[in-house]
């Protein structure tokens, strides 16, 4: 079954509230992103919300709060995509952080009444997760209100979603005039997108690095302050995967240098990644290592990533996840028994104590079952180091 790719692009130039400064290129940015998804990436469905965008299924698509919320409530009631599909949402406009939450401001938004007139990013993420898509991306080119840098917009994290913010909290997102005539972040992002759709070899971590470097250089060239895009995703493993899901490889386009005309290049179906690819082999190795070390939560996350990356082998990954669930349950019983026996202060070796307590037959049987189920581990010992960090390499925990 061919994977589907959907996108929603929202751009707000003019605000009803006079205290909100109008933007010059938010609508243009939303259109540019929309055109990329339609023409370059060949998405199945692309919906645009601007002040003059066409209606969708007889519903208005002007970027006011009611039409946007009405769209999400109507279209996202039930899942309409699958785990092999992708869903992208782009927003260009003002944003604000209020009472610990990030809000997008539609054309009728008021930063002083963000809870009632803004659109909560948590709400957006919930709706994206309702879609059923396996790949979900939220791109936010926002926080452009001068004098509000202390609000810290861009702090939120969203489970199951990769979020790309145009700037760090306490920074602003800048627009650049002619000859660029675009937001610095969106201009840079589109360059990276077009490069990625041709090569499809950059990980999220590499994309973030390129975004930061190129945006900083571009702003410096045009006399703008520091602006540092950043990416938040649900796991370190996701940060090491490609930006675009495998399905986008089916529709790569190349630009002829001589004629500057787009032409399709014959492509092998790339929905299924090669079994022996470095990325897949590395994920498998890490999953087995985590399982060997008893890091069952990490192991399940890794097998889950492989489930999405290699549809052809999904049955084997499901079995791996089921195997880990069984071992995790057995491990919990073993841990409970060990804690019970460790309370006995008799000076004996803990392993000997655990194996010699014949009066606790249930715990002993659970232990034997756990050992018998080790399977692929061959009962060998493995040294394993677990490191937790965010996509920027911060908050490191080493065990």
- For the chain, what are the domain ranges? 5-253, 278-398
Token pair recorded at residue 170: 């306490």
Residue with tokens 């972040």: 185
Q: Say what the pLDDT of residue 318 is.
A: 76
Token pair recorded at residue 40: 């370059």
Beta bridge partners of 183: 175
- Does the bond joining 183 to the residue before it have cis omega, within 30 degrees of 0? no
Dihedral of the alpha carbons of 395, 306, 33, 158, in degrees to the nearest 10: -40
Residue with tokens 């949402």: 89
Helices (H), 23-64: 26-35
Q: What is this structure's pTM?
A: 0.62
Q: Say what the pLDDT of residue 375 is.
A: 35
Distance CA 235, CA 184 (A): 27
Contact between 197 and 253 (Cβ < 8 Å): yes
Token pair recorded at residue 302: 């890794």
Measuring CA to CA, which residue among 296, 341, 355 is closest to residue 320? 296
Concatenated DSSP letters of 305-331 = HHHHH-GGGHHHHHHHHHHHHHHHHHH
Distance CA 17, CA 282 (A): 52
Sign (positive or negative) of CA dihedral 320, 321, 326, 330: positive
Dihedral of the alpha carbons of 362, 368, 369, 373, in degrees to the nearest 10: 160
At a CB cut-off of 8 Å and minimum separation 6, what does 18 contact? Answer: none
At a CB cut-off of 8 Å and minimum separation 6, what does 227 contact? Answer: 166, 167, 171, 172, 173, 174, 184, 185, 215, 216, 219
Measuring CA to CA, which residue among 123, 15, 18, 19 is closest to residue 71? 123
Q: Say what the pLDDT of residue 187 is.
A: 96
Distance CA 129, CA 254 (A): 32
Name the CATH architecture for the domain at 5-253. 3-Layer(aba) Sandwich (3.40)
Q: Say what the pLDDT of residue 50 is.
A: 95
Q: Say what the pLDDT of residue 355 is.
A: 33
Contact between 337 and 360 (Cβ < 8 Å): yes
Q: Say what the pLDDT of residue 388 is.
A: 56
Neighbours of 156 (CB within 10 A): 21
Distance CA 133, CA 130 (A): 8
Q: Say what the pLDDT of residue 107 is.
A: 95
Distance CA 123, CA 106 (A): 14
SS3 270: coil
> What are the strands of the beta sheet with 135-141, ordered from one edge?
45-49, 5-11, 86-92, 135-141, 162-165, 230-232
At a CB cut-off of 8 Å and minimum separation 6, what does 256 contact? Answer: 262, 263
Angle formed at CA 201 by CA 391 and CA 207, multiple of 5 degrees = 35
Contact between 391 and 208 (Cβ < 8 Å): yes
Contact between 148 and 157 (Cβ < 8 Å): no
Q: Say what the pLDDT of residue 14 is.
A: 93
Q: DSSP secondary-structure letter at 225?
A: -
Neighbours of 268 (CB within 10 A): 7
Those residues of the chain that have pLDDT short of 70 are 1, 144-157, 199-201, 234-239, 246-279, 307-312, 314, 329-399
Sign (positive or negative) of CA dihedral 210, 211, 215, 218: positive
Q: Say what the pLDDT of residue 123 is.
A: 94
Which tens digits make up the pLDDT trace of 197-236? Answer: 776 667 888 888 899 999 999 999 999 998 999 888 766 5
Compute CA distances 185 → 121, 139, 349, 393, whole Å.
Answer: 19, 10, 61, 22
């Amino acid at each position: 079954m061919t994977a589907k790719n959907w996108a929603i692009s929202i751009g707000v130039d003019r605000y009803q509230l006079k205290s909100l400064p109008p933007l010059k290129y938010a609508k243009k940015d939303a259109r540019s992103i929309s055109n990329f998804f339609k023409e370059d990436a060949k998405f199945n469905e692309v919906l645009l919300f601007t002040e003059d965008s066409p209606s969708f299924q007889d519903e208005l698509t002007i970027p006011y709060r009611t039409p946007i919320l009405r769209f999400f409530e109507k279209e996202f009631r039930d899942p309409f995509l699958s785990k092999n599909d992708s869903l992208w949402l782009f927003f260009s406009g003002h944003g604000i952080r209020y009472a610990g939450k990030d809000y997008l401001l539609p054309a009728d938004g008021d930063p002083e009444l963000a809870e009632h007139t803004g659109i909560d990013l948590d709400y957006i993420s919930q709706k994206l997760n309702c879609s059923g898509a396996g790949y979900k991306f939220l791109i936010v080119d926002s926080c452009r209100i001068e004098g509000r840098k202390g609000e810290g917009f861009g702090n939120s994290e969203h489970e199951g979603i990769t979020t790309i913010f145009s700037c760090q909290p306490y920074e602003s997102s800048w627009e650049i005039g002619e000859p660029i005539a675009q937001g610095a972040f969106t201009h840079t992002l589109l360059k990276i997108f077009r490069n990625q759709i041709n090569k499809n070899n950059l990980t999220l971590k590499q994309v973030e690095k390129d975004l930061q470097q190129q945006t900083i250089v571009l702003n410096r060239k045009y006399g703008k302050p520091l602006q540092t895009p950043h990416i938040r995703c649900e796991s370190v493993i996701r940060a090491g995967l490609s930006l675009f899901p495998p399905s986008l490889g089916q529709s790569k386009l190349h630009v002829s240098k001589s004629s500057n005309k787009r032409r399709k290049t014959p492509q092998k179906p790339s929905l299924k990644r090669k079994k022996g690819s470095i990325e897949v082999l590395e994920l498998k190795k890490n999953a087995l290592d985590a399982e060997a070390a008893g890091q069952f939560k990490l192991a399940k996350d890794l097998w889950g990533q492989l489930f999405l990356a290699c549809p052809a082998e999904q049955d084997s990954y499901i079995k791996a996840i089921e195997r880990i669930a069984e071992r995790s349950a057995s491990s919990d019983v073993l841990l409970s028994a060990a804690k019970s026996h460790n309370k006995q202060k008799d000076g004996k070796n803990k392993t000997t104590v655990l194996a010699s307590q014949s009066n606790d037959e249930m715990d002993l049987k659970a232990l034997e079952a756990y050992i018998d189920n080790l399977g692929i581990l061959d009962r060998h010992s493995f040294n394993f180091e677990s490191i937790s960090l965010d996509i920027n390499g911060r908050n490191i925990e080493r065990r």
